[in-house]
Structure 1
């Protein structure tokens, strides 16, 4: 078993996949310069911008056992693209696994499709992402080595690799959506299953193509998600009812996630993992709190508790498309305004409280500042998305 794990964690396996898909490192031509992108001699130059890579101190493989983490050193790296179909396919698939996609997709589901589905998807997404992010900083397994792997992303290089939270999120959202809709809407189940498999597979393969994860990271993420869905599925109906269980429910919704964020596992060096985890938990807390507000104060009508089967899903017409787009734009604009306002106010209060110079951007990384300001900001965003945006839609006649 240990030999199998080592083989799946081998960076050469990722490099071979990249080469088969037409992605090669450019020959070393001396010192690298900032802004290096795809090398000359490829069939063209994609608009990829600065796409740096990473090496570990020492640059070699560990002497024995599975790879252990070391602080990454970031440098720019030239590369050659020989197959632009795979390049754009997997770059786009990688975007579908980003948090920003799900943070956009989930409100869209709430505003334009079904609040029942969005509630379930958000709860599962938050649970899966928290487990995955926490596992990274507990296991502390590094990302693939470069060389031989070509790295196409920069922001998450400082994070550890195991498990792939992109793979976890894509698998959780696609299959939770499939499970939640099979008894609510009438559609060919085989088609829905195929879409879920294709979506999650593309995101998983994109993590190998971009050089961000080993095969073991991706497989581990998928398996962890499958186990979490299997273990929590019997309680999904109960979880749906928790937001109306008690007037004290909002206290638990706020205190428990904040405690988990503040006691997040300490990393050997700073990475955006804790900040991203706080954002996800806070957004989940805000959304859950927003659903409780809607139910407790009867502000926004909710669908009935039964799960009706819709015999004929209405086709997408031009009028429906314009309506959905209008609701989405109105909602996103309001959310961005709330996010900016609350973030600025919370940072000013925390800077003043801890006597920190506002121009010191490094201060945002301090535990006592980063966790509270992100938690307050994205809890407000979650409440806004589920309560105030639907109220604004009703006021504007968009419902």
Structure 2
């Protein structure tokens, strides 16, 4: 493993490489497994496009773009501290464990297999998150998170049905079922994942919830009631898992999210261990629970606790990140000098830079406070930047090139293959409206509903033809084999390899250039998010007591 050489190095040069990009970057066994699974992604794409074509409406676009936020890291990280401060410590700890496991293991598999998302086109990508499409596709982290939360919540409800009115009991269960189905189906509708992605992600989430239900409470008691060795051992295991996270073949942010949640887990365990010994915590339902009574505190005080706690978390994040970016680089250079550093690909080593500029879009878990107004604006206008068409990441681009190359080889090897050229089956590439939801004014129906009274198989075939196309010129593919020096086209003319290189360059130049990533970001995220976990479990509850917003000593 080696760090990236220079921040000035043109990262888009990756587009000039041959289609064996993954064969050269991945160990043979990972590449072999990836090659066995790629056909699943490709075979699902035209059927997902058909699903979009049949179901898409402006209202559903807005709904699924909006509700996808309910399965993101940001949503859960804002809600989790509130659970701790309002006395729901058992649920809060369970959510931390499940979400950290879901983000880590789904990211682990994503970076290990490097499987792309379904191809766009023919799919339209509907998302309010600029970073979502930069990750690999398999498995779906949204599905993992949603299903784990739903399975856990439903089982908790069923374990004590007498605590709720029968109608409330049924309504809450239906709400969690609807939440999980809505998030999972929304990933298909939005063109962000295939059936294989969401099914495996859902099973992963269900498995994580089952483990939490079986072992979670015992783990919480073990950490809070034992000696300091217990949280220390859990911290070492967590750091070990971070260290063995696979290196991806492309610049994928999955590792960053795994680091962030690993930090939260570490902070929560340390905070729970110490807070249980402060005399402010209670032992029900589990040790280190923050005492809370809405009747005793009153609504204004309870609200003030939440507002103060959230502000403290954002202040901590805003202050610590720039401070650590100044403190850590000299330390990392010293470690690098004595060869004690542990570089990762796509992260610049400290010796390659002198300072770290202000980073934009460097956090998918808790954004800086300055970005909150824009995020709220996007929530109120979810369709303004929700729909995109074409490759959005390096993985997208490589898959587009690989699929295009495969189609060209098939057209050479089979004289019977038919290349569809009917423009009525393809979007109007010159019309900017077609880069938004594919709706025609007439009857407000999806593209092609009135134009295509054709069998489903023909429509699926038309979507297959659109796969691997990113421009008007690419919709009519010419036979071209990248391994040949010169191959005749169907019209008798020839296409040189240089033309294919230009084609690659054109695809990669359309991608947003990824920002430089620095080695100190790894430790920075662990410290910052470890601090957030500690603030949620111990720091802010102690501050509430000092500010007169707490319940007082418990007498322990």
SS of equivalent to 1:269? coil
Q: Does 1:17 align with 2:35?
A: no
Q: Is the 8 A contact 1:115 1:302 kept in 2?
A: no
Q: Does 1:385 align with 2:382?
A: no
Q: Is the 8 A contact 1:363 1:369 kept in 2?
A: no
Distance 1:145 1:102, change over 3 A: same
RMSD: 2.8
Counterpart position of 1:357: 354
Counterpart position of 2:100: 126
Choose which of 238, 242, 251 in structure 2 pairs with 1:261. 242
Shift of 1:323: 4.3
**Equivalences, count:** 327
SS of equivalent to 2:47? helix
Shift of 1:231: 4.3
Counterpart position of 2:147: 171
Shift of 1:304: 4.4
Give the Cα–Cα distance (whole angstroms) in 1 for the partners of residues 43 and 222 of structure 2.
40
Q: Once the two structures are superposed, what CA deviation does each residue of 1:215-246 show, in whole Å capped at 9, x if it has no partner?
A: 21111111122223334532233112122222
Give the Cα–Cα distance (whole angstroms) in 2 for the partners of residues 15 and 270 of structure 1.
27
Q: Does 1:330 align with 2:308?
A: yes
SS of equivalent to 1:147? coil
Give the Cα–Cα distance (whole angstroms) in 1 for the partners of residues 135 and 43 of structure 2.
16
Q: Once the two structures are superposed, what CA deviation does each residue of 1:112-161 show, in whole Å capped at 9, x if it has no partner?
A: 25112111221122122211111111222110100001113331222111
TM-score (norm 1): 0.74
Distance 1:393 1:16, change over 3 A: farther
Distance 1:252 1:332, change over 3 A: same
Q: Once the two structures are superposed, what CA deviation does each residue of 1:319-353 show, in whole Å capped at 9, x if it has no partner?
A: 96544432221111001111122222222122222
Gaps of 5+ in 1: 23-82, 307-313
Give the Cα–Cα distance (whole angstroms) in 2 for the partners of residues 352 and 364 of structure 1.
18
Bigger relative contact order, structure 1 or 2 (CA pairs below 8 A, ≥6 apart): 2
Q: Is the 8 A contact 1:253 1:289 kept in 2?
A: no
Bigger mean CA offset, 112-121 vs 273-282 = 112-121
Choose which of 94, 100, 108 in structure 1 pairs with 2:74. 100
Q: Is the 8 A contact 1:97 1:166 kept in 2?
A: yes
SS of equivalent to 1:145? coil
Shift of 1:8: 9.2
Gaps of 5+ in 2: 1-35, 288-292, 334-350, 360-513, 551-556
Choose which of 192, 199, 212 in structure 2 pairs with 1:219. 199
Choose which of 130, 134, 137 in structure 2 pairs with 1:161. 137
Bigger mean CA offset, 372-381 vs 334-343 = 334-343
Shift of 1:213: 0.8
SS of equivalent to 1:365? coil
| Larger CA Rg, structure 1 vs 2 | 2
Distance 1:363 1:6, change over 3 A: closer
Q: Once the two structures are superposed, what CA deviation does each residue of 1:233-285 show, in whole Å capped at 9, x if it has no partner?
A: 32233112122222212322332222222331000011111001100111122
Summarize the alignment of residues 254-333 of structure 1 with structure 2, pairs less than 5 Å apart.
Answer: 254-305=235-286, 322-333=300-311
Q: Is the 8 A contact 1:286 1:380 kept in 2?
A: yes
Q: Does 1:201 align with 2:181?
A: yes
Summarize the alignment of residues 42-53 of structure 1 with structure 2, pairs less than 5 Å apart.
Answer: none
